[in-house]
């Protein structure tokens, strides 16, 4: 099998690092890489070559590869260059847009979307969303510290004592928990809010105070996402958050709803009540943001508050982010490859859930049809044999 590594044109990360290349080559696969693919992630072309990969032009990689894993989808025009029956692995986010994957009917392409992998215990080792969220949570606190015109830790000096910064984390999922841990390491006074009561123990285990609003809807089956809440709960939540926001020096928001706009947790009126120079880092900006004044991939100053909207902070730690992404791919390949060959066993829940295009046809949300198609293919192979 030929595996292609492309340069992520709008990202500092790379999907596959030399450590995985070495394993793939050892297993008998050919690996092609685009020159400069890993440079922004501290991976040289020489490192790829030493691992056994061969440098090729981008067009050649697209035309000759059987399997291409990327972080961001390739363009529609590039999709037309793929060889027949090629397989893609990327972040298609079909619940947000179907524009891209509708155009893959050419050449019977099959595509798996990393963001559709079930967020279950068995799939943790290939959960890109969690890997990247952890890095984003870490980086969000460092970014906030850089923007904040105040210290984060408490400092006792000859000139007097500086009190610790108050850090409020809204959403205690993977990103939120890493943000809590990082803010605590920096000496901040940390509070965290989450609609999931189960998050309380995790928040407290990291040394933060849990801000609790009673009456939340059950989010245990939401795959790590928040869920829509009742109007009564939203009003109680708004009142409590408003109280906490006024005192906060740093706010980091992470709450997203799958397939829907992110919930607005911080209104413009709340921003107006914050201290001059305070910072909001909104990690849900790509789906509208948790702050009403967030602008995606921009830093703006509104009412004296620095507001950074970014859903791609993991890309700002490109070396380790690439290593983790590559390991996620490696673990996905363990169930996708059987004796070195791509084997689409749709009885496997991970493959079935993450496959959004099968032989050029959209199968997003049609898991039963995948099992049926898989069974029919097995029957055809048996007849041919």
- Residue 127 a catalytic site member: yes
- Residue 364 a catalytic site member: no
Q: Which of 22, 30, 60, 124 is catalytic?
A: 124
- Residue 124 a catalytic site member: yes
Helical packing angle, 128-147 and 174-185, nearest 10°? 40
Compute how many other C-beta atoms are within 10 angstroms of the C-beta atom of residue 320.
Answer: 16
Cα angle, residue 238 at apex, residues 236 and 240 outer, rounded to 5°: 70
Backbone angles phi, psi at 379, to 5 degrees: -65, -40
87-104 in b/e burial notation, b at 16+ Cβ within 10 A?
bbbbbbbbeeeeebbeeb
Backbone angles phi, psi at 337, to 5 degrees: -105, 130
Beta bridge partners of 302: 305
- Residue 30 a catalytic site member: no
- Residue 225 a catalytic site member: yes
- Answer whether 248's CB lies under 8 Å from 165's CB: no
Q: Which of 98, 119, 125, 273 is catalytic?
A: 119
| Token digits of residue 47 | 């490192």
Q: How far, CA to CA in Å, does 282 sit from each of 101, 145, 202, 292, 321?
A: 28, 14, 21, 10, 19
Q: Which of 127, 194, 249, 282 is catalytic?
A: 127
> Scanning the structure block, which residue is given the tokens 């099968």?
358
Q: How far, CA to CA in Å, does 216 sit from each of 115, 152, 227?
A: 26, 31, 9
- Answer whether 263's CB lies under 8 Å from 171's CB: no
| Token digits of residue 79 | 């999709």
Q: How far apart are CA 144 and CA 136, in angstroms?
A: 12
Q: Which of 22, 42, 105, 225 is catalytic?
A: 225
312 CB burial (10 A radius; 0-12, 13-18, 19+): buried
- Answer whether 289's CB lies under 8 Å from 309's CB: yes
- Answer whether 128's CB lies under 8 Å from 151's CB: no
- For the annotated catalytic residues, the residue numbers are 119, 124, 127, 130, 225
């Amino acid at each position: 099998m030929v595996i292609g590594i492309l340069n992520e044109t709008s990202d500092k990360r790379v999907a596959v690092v030399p450590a995985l290349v070495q394993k793939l080559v050892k297993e008998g696969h050919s690996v092609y890489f685009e020159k400069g693919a890993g440079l922004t992630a501290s991976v040289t072309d020489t490192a790829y070559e030493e691992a056994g990969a061969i440098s090729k032009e981008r067009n050649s990689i697209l035309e000759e590869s059987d399997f291409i894993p990327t972080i961001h989808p390739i363009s529609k025009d590039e999709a037309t260059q793929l060889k027949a029956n090629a397989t893609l692995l990327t972040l298609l986010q079909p619940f947000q847009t179907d524009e891209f994957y509708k155009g893959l009917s050419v050449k019977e392409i099959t595509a798996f979307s990393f963001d559709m992998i079930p967020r279950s215990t068995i799939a943790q080792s290939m959960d890109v969303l969690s890997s990247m969220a952890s890095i984003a949570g870490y980086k969000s606190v460092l970014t906030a510290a850089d923007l904040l015109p105040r210290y984060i830790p408490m400092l006792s000096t000859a000139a007097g004592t500086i009190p610790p910064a108050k850090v409020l984390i809204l959403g205690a999922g993977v990103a939120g928990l890493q943000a809590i841990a990082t803010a605590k390491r920096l000496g901040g006074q940390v509070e965290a809010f989450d609609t999931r009561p189960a998050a309380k123990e995790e928040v407290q285990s990291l040394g933060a105070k849990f801000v609790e609003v009673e009456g939340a809807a059950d989010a245990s089956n939401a795959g790590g996402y928040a869920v829509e809440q009742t109007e009564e709960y939203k009003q109680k939540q708004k009142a409590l958050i408003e109280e906490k926001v006024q005192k906060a020096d740093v706010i980091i928001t992470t709450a997203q709803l799958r397939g829907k706009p992110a919930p607005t947790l911080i209104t413009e009126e709340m921003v107006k009540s914050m201290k001059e120079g305070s910072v909001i880092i909104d990690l849900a900006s790509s789906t509208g943001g948790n702050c009403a004044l967030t602008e995606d991939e921009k830093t703006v100053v509104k009412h004296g508050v620095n507001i950074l909207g970014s859903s791609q902070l993991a890309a700002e730690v490109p070396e380790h982010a690439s290593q983790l992404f590559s390991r996620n791919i490696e673990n996905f390949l363990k169930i996708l490859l059987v004796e070195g060959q791509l084997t689409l066993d749709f009885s496997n829940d991970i493959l079935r859930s993450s496959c959004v295009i099968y032989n050029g046809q959209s199968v997003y949300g049609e898991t039963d049809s995948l099992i049926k198609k898989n069974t029919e293919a097995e029957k055809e192979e048996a007849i041919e044999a």
